[in-house]
Structure 1
């Protein structure tokens, strides 16, 4: 899949992503965000024992679990078990983390709206993504901030 071009204006049409399960191989994060949508779709592959990392967002987040099992932890203490086919909605401002509890990679697709990252972002690891955010090198397009 070719990297998307940065968004320069709000979206005008639909985008279809076929067979998302095949897209979940490394790199850790794959970002699909282009001129057609005011959202960010991320496909994550979390290794056994790995985690997304405790975080909050300023937008709602929808997660679909393609394969593997996980523990969802919200507000630091509420825990739920997650299985393939589960869909989880994390409201804006909710502290959350997902930990891979199974023996195989956890493949998750997640949608944020509006986007919170630069349109052509591909992170090879969680650490790389966090570093780029901290350095101010992974900013969303201007229209996503409006």
Structure 2
């Protein structure tokens, strides 16, 4: 991979090639003042993890693999379900519980755009466990120069 998060400066890279080449659970590729681009690789049989971001909209696009997207108003009320594959996009409204499950036999290669910024600039998580550990320890916080929403509800994971 050749992508490096250069913060809120102009940037351009081949997002499809970098998404396909990313072997990490999450790699933050670019962090702006208002939004962030991350690359994700979800192993076969695993998922992004059921979660909700009360004040963060997300756009996800699959560049390889296949999976199932679920969303709903509560973690036990996932009323939206869609099979997804290479080329599909997923739009997750703020406040919507969601997960993307890899139903294929190869890694699910995804890029995600968060608005507002959700992760530390340039942070790389090789695994979902690494991501969870950094979130719990406070190592995965948005930079101070980003614009964050008000004092609404915190993000949650199931």
**Same fold? TM cut 0.5:** yes
Alpha-carbon RMSD across the aligned residues, in angstroms, is 2.0
Q: Deviations over 1:29-80 (max 9, x none)?
A: 111124x553211111111101000011221100011011111111242311
Give the gaps of 5 or more residues in structure 2: 150-158
- Mapping 1:24-35, distance limit 5 Å: 24=20, 25-34=22-31
Give the gaps of 5 or more residues in structure 1: none
The aligned residue for residue 155 of structure 2 is none
The aligned residue for residue 68 of structure 1 is 65
Pick the structure with more strand per residue: 2
Tell me the TM-score normalised to structure 2 length: 0.79
What is the alpha-carbon distance in structure 1 between the residues aligned to residue 96 and residue 131 of structure 2? 20
How many residues align? The count is 140
1:115 CA drift (Å): 0.9
Q: Deviations over 1:92-124 (max 9, x none)?
A: 111000000111111001100221111121111
- Mapping 1:34-53, distance limit 5 Å: 34=31, 38-53=34-49
Tell me the TM-score normalised to structure 1 length: 0.85
1:23 CA drift (Å): 3.5
Structure 1: which 4+ aligned runs deviate by more than 4 Å? none
